[in-house]
A and B are shown apart, each in its own frame.
Chain A
């Protein structure tokens, strides 16, 4: 955190100054470790073993915050008899080895119905399976299309003694994750592990809370979603969710990566985490809502959120008669994530590509795959400030040097359009704590530089004009008319200003916020309705323009506010700064302790109050119990703090929503130097691979690729370098690509400090300056000594500071839930000296593949 989010880290140091214990668990010793109370080095890719060990320690010693657990979690609910745990084998019930996928029906709770995950179905089940689930759900719920009602409550045992209650199931699942096992798998000592376990359990409960902070490297694994789940289970057991000083804090790496997830430039989502409709399940609006909207909790109002979105996009063309233009939305049929898109580019199944402030030729795993995709396009639009590698690949990419590609044979038409920077346009970023902050335009962009708002607005305007003109001039077929209806009916009329006709960003923010039937800005998403009288482009952002005022531009100085600072910017939802903060009070609504008071029930006033906006219905008493057949939020009790869940509970066991098991299980990384010591199954059996010549994977436990490497960021550079390698100061501060190796590995391989090293994988070989440092510790794993190599991933061929891209060394193998690649752990070989140049590099890499028994590489 001190390295990649240094200014945020000041608050960790503030906490330390007030007595907090700071523990840093990281394979490398970094600037964070230097100021932590304890640094625990361990083997990359073994976090679930470590977190599972902590869960085991908590359960084995009954150190969970029992009153919190019984009040707010599903610990007491009974898991169905059909469920079989992963146990020794490492495979849960429901696995189909032919398809490599799970059917989660056997994971369901006893007496419960099959429920949609809180935020809807995802694409990770095969269409057939999905239909099976839908049929099963409607069977048990009493028929498709029937009015939504509360699902039957699962059976429960509040004493937590029933052998199939979640608490006991969890305890058995993690029984193998003993301190000794953790030590063997992770390479930390038993004493180090116990020191962490004692520190976090001592520091959790009524009076104290512990926070877990991860940077999104936790997601860069074939079991990435389960890493986060493991932390969630631990934090829930310890009562650290929804409370001040608690939580699991994801430190994200781009100025508005949170915003671009909320208002998603992502294939599987609509704004506000509404899933994209699927062709197999969602033939109309009602079937979409039946399959995806939970019947209880605040997701029960997905119809209002979705209809308001459709009204924002298609205005008067969205009517009750046409399902509010639900049919205008394109349908998914499976995974269309970024790596699938690139595979299709290489196969010439898709023709055009916009790159907008992203540099995949350097920043994505398997750079060769990325560049091959670019080289097989018909056209490419790059919008950036500097001449990044993804724009110039046809001229100076690594494949030009090796002769795999020739400039004269690359047919890609490239448009490089300069973009405006953050000082040259107004708009909001959403930071990592869900805070929207408005920036004001300071100067005009130079030359041809324009904002994305300008580019996309005018591009859309021209496309609409061209299509409308074609319809006017020709005799369009019925299919063409139908196909173009969504784009021609689109609300696309923003006021513009200035010589370049810049669209007014505040008018876009107002549309996102939404309007009532009279055209007044909505102040809360609870005002949204499903009858088409309200509109709103992203329901979770409703309120950011309440009262017609840009709430994201609020700038009351922090020094004039309390520590919550509720009058600086605006946090979604409803300006809440800590989610699920109802859990900061006990069942009766009293603060768990004076010290940790945050939000509580004021019985006299009959409402929730406190330091933050309560994340609960303001007047729902703690004593409220839902009547039979209650719907939506009325079905949640006054103690159901997790209001976006259909049952209002934090799930220690997830009967639905995950593609690779209801409880996190340790699997080795796909490229691991050792065998899985906890389960027979070596790696995630549900992971996703792309088996192509340009994406070979290193065999596990390979003598050819014996060392682990991990990639990371430096304080002085940013992601793929487009905003840092071109700047003088930053290039001086970190002038060269390097690899960090331990003195022991340096001795083993003859590497010299400040000399050159060549790193080799089945994908390619790259060179880096050698930094021999005690910051990297060899770890003993069973009979093995595992060496780990650290690689910052910022470099490419362009800019003031140049070097080989570390990501070129990586292959692509993915988590099945979110299709994110395993890029924070892989294997390689390392040799002293520089890499071969030109075609010799290809033969050098191929010779290693041959030695390892891997199929040949190639570009097709």
Chain B
């Protein structure tokens, strides 16, 4: 680096001679700062979404690079939120990239003291067997007075307010067809 260049990099010189006399931008940038990029920079795509926390329904833009979420910002197009997000919505990148997120099936056998691993396909198959068994054990064709019930009290479900409408629809439809009436969610708490 020549003396002239070195001097020219001196912030005071840049401030005095450059386009940033108040030293609020270029004049005080270090080479490292200059190479920094916004997390939204270089995204392969920006996908339209909706915040998963409360029921206001703020618009979100999901920035994706190499098949991973790199940043989540408020969607300025949304007439609901006009680009704003609250602390939770703003933290939702860390929700989806959380290092403590569990991404494999965990299984605790009856009376077990530790979690074990279990193959997803095996787990779903075991659950199907347990549903069929509990359905049978809790089945009621009629009540004491002979009125038709056609239901099971063998198992139940809780949750739905964090899910999609399409998902709630499949849960309700499946449970009704199985005769399982005990379906509940956060709306009653």
Contacts and interface: CB of A to CB of B under 8 A. Distances in A.
A351 B102 contact: no
B158 A355 contact: yes
A381 B127 contact: yes
Interface string A1-22: 0001111101000000000000
Nearest to B178: A487
Contacts of A408: 111, 113
Contacts of A440: 47-49
B182 A432 contact: no
B128 A463 contact: yes
A251 B139 CA distance: 39
Interface in B40-59: 45, 47-59
Contacts of B160: 256, 260, 264-265, 356-358
B12 interface: no
Contacts of B167: 427, 451-453, 456
Contacts of B64: 442-443
B179 to A, nearest CB: 4
B74 to A, nearest CB: 8
A263 B160 CA distance: 10
A253 B172 CA distance: 21
Interface string A392-423: 00110000000000011111111111100111
B187 A261 contact: yes
A386 B161 contact: no
Contact of A453 (B67, B96, B170, B177): B170
A509 interface: yes
B162 A727 contact: no
Interface string A534-578: 000110010000000000000101110100010010000000000
Contacts of A253: 54-55, 161, 186
B10 interface: no
A768 to B, nearest CB: 21
Contact of B164 (A256, A279, A385, A411): A256
A208 interface: no
Given A364-B189, A425-B164, A4 B128 contact: no
Contact of A486 (B56, B98, B107, B179): B179
B165 interface: yes
Contacts of A800: 100
A391 B155 CA distance: 17
A95 interface: no
B69 A423 contact: yes
Contact of B105 (A394, A417, A456, A467): A417
A428 B161 CA distance: 12
Contacts of A723: 52-53, 88, 95, 162
A262 B47 contact: no
Contacts of B184: 265-267, 337-338, 341
Contacts of B154: 350-352
B147 to A, nearest CB: 5
Interface in B13-31: none
Interface in B150-189: 150-174, 176-189
B55 A258 contact: yes
B52 A565 contact: no
A712 interface: no
Contact of B103 (A418, A719, A821): A418
Nearest to A394: B108
A559 B77 contact: yes
A163 to B, nearest CB: 40
A729 interface: yes
B185 A415 contact: no
A726 interface: yes
A214 to B, nearest CB: 13
Given A432-B56, A456-B167, A723-B53, A351 B155 contact: yes
Query: Which one of B64, B79, B123, B149 has the greatest number of beta carbons of chain A within 10 Å?
Result: B79
Contact of A726 (B100, B130, B147): B100
A331 interface: yes
B143 interface: yes
B37 interface: no
A255 B158 CA distance: 16
A573 to B, nearest CB: 14
Query: Which one of A262, A331, A467 has the greatest number of beta carbons of chain B within 10 Å?
Result: A331
Nearest to B85: A7
Interface residues of A, number: 160
Contacts of A266: 183-185, 187-188
Contact of B168 (A265, A466, A568, A715): A265
Contacts of B103: 418, 446-449
B189 A462 contact: no
A383 B105 CA distance: 10
Given A429-B57, A440-B47, A490-B177, A263 B79 contact: no
Contacts of B124: 417, 455, 458-459, 462
B137 to A, nearest CB: 6
Contacts of B156: 341, 350, 352-354
Nearest to B51: A255
B87 A415 contact: no
Contact of A428 (B67, B110, B164): B164
Interface string A709-740: 00000011111000110111110010000000
A508 interface: yes
Given A338-B184, A442-B64, A330 B84 contact: no
A42 B28 CA distance: 54
Given A260-B163, A451-B167, A386 B100 contact: yes
A444 interface: yes
Contact of B181 (A5, A330, A360, A418): A330
Given A257-B161, A448-B120, A264 B57 contact: no
A264 B91 CA distance: 29
Contact of A262 (B108, B132, B165, B183): B165
Given A265-B160, A279-B143, A353-B156, A378 B165 contact: no
B80 interface: yes
Interface string A271-292: 1000010011001000000000
B171 A427 contact: no
A125 interface: no
A503 to B, nearest CB: 8
A411 B110 contact: yes
Nearest to B169: A263
Given A255-B54, A257-B187, A729 B166 contact: no
A330 B91 contact: no
B57 A422 contact: no
B177 A452 contact: no
Contacts of A466: 128-129, 132
B101 interface: yes
B38 to A, nearest CB: 18
B153 A350 contact: yes
B111 A409 contact: yes
A338 B158 contact: yes
Contact of B161 (A357, A450, A486): A357
Given A330-B149, A820-B189, A256 B163 contact: yes
24 contacts: A7-B89, A267-B182, A331-B150, A391-B106, A409-B111, A416-B108, A421-B52, A421-B95, A422-B50, A422-B51, A423-B72, A427-B165, A439-B49, A443-B64, A456-B174, A460-B177, A462-B128, A483-B150, A557-B77, A716-B88, A719-B186, A723-B95, A799-B100, A819-B188
The 7 A-B pairs with the shortest beta carbon distances in the complex, nearest first, are A558-B79, A431-B57, A427-B164, A352-B155, A265-B160, A447-B103, A356-B159
Given A280-B147, A458-B124, 11 more contacts: A263-B168, A265-B171, A331-B151, A350-B155, A351-B155, A363-B189, A408-B111, A439-B50, A442-B47, A452-B167, A723-B52
